[in-house]
Amino acid sequence: MSKPTASRFPQRAALALLIGAVAVTAACNSTKRENRLLFGGHYFPVKAKPVDKKATLSVFTVTVDKVSQSFDDAREAGRHGGVSYCIANYGNSRIDWQVGPDSDPAQLRIEGDKMTFQGTCQRP
């Protein structure tokens, strides 16, 4: 095996610095955008979380922001957020929605520009 020559070391160091810089930049940019979903040409910030983490992860809420952009697309973004939550925590997409994307619009919880769904992940 040959040892790296002095001329190769600066190239490798520069490449390592470049890769590190790209990784740091990507991480900084993704933190704000990772919770946004694109539906119908609009980005909707979506957050799913358990109602009571100490009791169970299966009962959760999904909050969709910027509902005024498109009511129907916001509903679909909320559905996607719930499905993603259940897959991540229970390995399947079956949800029993108490108030969800298919609920009558009069039953939906909308405060300001945010819509909140509540569901229960079903075990496989």
Q: Per-residue pLDDT averaged across 10-14, rounded?
A: 58
Q: What whole-number distance in Å separates Cα of residue 37 and Cα of residue 77?
A: 6
**Tens digits of per-residue pLDDT, 71-119?**
999 999 999 999 999 999 999 999 999 999 999 999 999 999 999 999 9
CB neighbours of 67 closer than 8 A, spacing ≥ 6? 44, 74, 110, 113, 114, 115
Average pLDDT over the chain reads 82
Could you give the CA distance from residue 75 to residue 70 in angstroms, rounded to a whole number? 9
The structure's pTM equals 0.70
Specify the amino acid at residue 28: C
> Which residues sit opposite 102 in a β-bridge?
none
Q: Positive or negative CA dihedral for 80, 35, 106, 120?
A: positive
Is the pLDDT at 121 greater than 80? The verdict is: yes
Per residue in 23-47, pLDDT (tens digit) is: 544 444 433 455 677 888 899 999 9
Predicted local distance difference test score (pLDDT) of residue 36: 76
